[in-house]
A and B are shown apart, each in its own frame.
Chain A
């Protein structure tokens, strides 16, 4: 069973929404959550949650689309 347990961190709400659209178009389930990093380096950001088994593929799709992923 899939669980959305891996987080892809994106700085902007707009880019995170587009990221979700792109992933769903590519058959990858995801959900969007507003979050913040624990050390306060970035502060407010958005987590796109995906199944850990699909994370590498998801990140590749987003990078190819020019969406910046935070480390």
Chain B
């Protein structure tokens, strides 16, 4: 039996055709350290990195390629923003839908005197959510940083409106786009955001080990990591200019090559078509699960305006990890538990049970969703026949 992979919110799989070849080419013939040597292979490696940087800038509407920073992960990107901006006495607002990639660094900063507030996200009600952020603002609020979409419930935050609120009040605005980059529209020519953070390996169909930080303002981030950049080596302080200021150490060139393939793939399919396909699949799953009395859902029916295509559910009476294990025995890959987002579960009251999360990709078929639904029905019926 073939694996039915519905864990694309953790990382997309499979990757587009050509990804493996692009990575292999780097390892076989472009393996030099970029931005360091002056021989031909080093130039090829540097050119590849620059080309991908330009592609990412174009993809997200960044003003210039140097505003695209390659990092080891989305988590690193988020840490660079939070720790590069905030110091004792500053105030930051986050939402109650955050991943630990946001809430943990904020908690660490709180121990150093940074103040924070948590704004409640009202699903499907942009005005109420924006009002919650507005109420949380203080005179010393320096940054609003929030997720674009919950990695547990798929609920989107109205980031355009939150960004407008921030900028009207002289506050910087950063977004964790881990679950939306590549799927949802993100154009910095329209979006009033100062920092976008994202991984390469999820909706951008790249590889693990690479994140992006897109800087859309002239505020200079203090550095979290300093080191070799291949530039101004005679100066013993970190360069002031981007991307070098925030890119110490050797870049993950194989992953950058894979990211370029991923972004080109999304453009060739069209992001809109990709989103529509995944949303139709998640609605197919939602409708079927909501008709099963044994299943519990936690959100409204997903819509592109208010959700990304992922959902959480439980089979009543079966712990989420057990249910995910039963699905795994049937070669269906889902994720269960708290999904590194305890705050989001507390907000929805699912912290004691966790949830089962499914997320399709462009490669998921409706037949696979139907097979998943059949397996859920079978597990639920067995549970009803043999309750614990």
Contact = CB atoms under 8 A, between A and B. Distances in A.
A53 interface: no
Interface in B220-244: 229-235, 239, 241-244
Interface residues of A, number: 20
A29 B15 CA distance: 40
B229 to A, nearest CB: 8
Chain B interface mostly? loop
Given A33-B38, A34-B37, A12 B235 contact: no
B123 interface: no
B235 A42 contact: yes
A64 interface: no
B35 interface: yes
A43 B66 contact: no
Contact of B244 (A12, A40, A42): A12
A18 B68 CA distance: 13
A11 B231 contact: yes
Nearest to B234: A43
A15 interface: yes
Contact of B232 (A18, A34, A44, A66): A44
Given A18-B64, A34-B37, A13 B241 contact: no
Interface of B: 34-38, 46-47, 50, 53, 64-66, 229-235, 239, 241-244
Interface in A27-57: 33-34, 36-37, 40-46
B64 A43 contact: no
A18 B65 contact: yes
Interface of A: 11-15, 17-18, 33-34, 36-37, 40-46, 66, 68
Contacts of B242: 14
Contacts of B234: 36-37, 40-44
A25 to B, nearest CB: 13
B250 to A, nearest CB: 13
A11 B239 contact: yes
Contacts of A46: 231
B53 A45 contact: no
Contacts of A43: 232-235
A27 to B, nearest CB: 21
Given A17-B65, A36-B234, A37-B234, 10 more contacts: A12-B229, A12-B239, A12-B241, A12-B243, A12-B244, A14-B50, A18-B65, A40-B234, A42-B232, A44-B232
B243 A14 contact: yes
A65 to B, nearest CB: 8
A7 B287 CA distance: 65
A56 B63 CA distance: 25
Contacts of B38: 33-34
A13 B64 contact: no
A34 B46 CA distance: 11
Ranked 8 nearest A-B pairs via Cβ:
A43-B234, A43-B233, A34-B38, A44-B233, A13-B35, A17-B50, A14-B66, A40-B234
A14 B244 contact: yes
A55 B231 CA distance: 23
A12 B65 contact: no
26 contacts: A11-B231, A11-B241, A12-B231, A12-B239, A12-B241, A12-B243, A12-B244, A13-B35, A13-B46, A13-B50, A13-B231, A14-B66, A14-B243, A17-B47, A17-B65, A18-B66, A33-B38, A34-B38, A42-B232, A42-B234, A42-B235, A43-B234, A43-B235, A44-B230, A45-B231, A66-B64
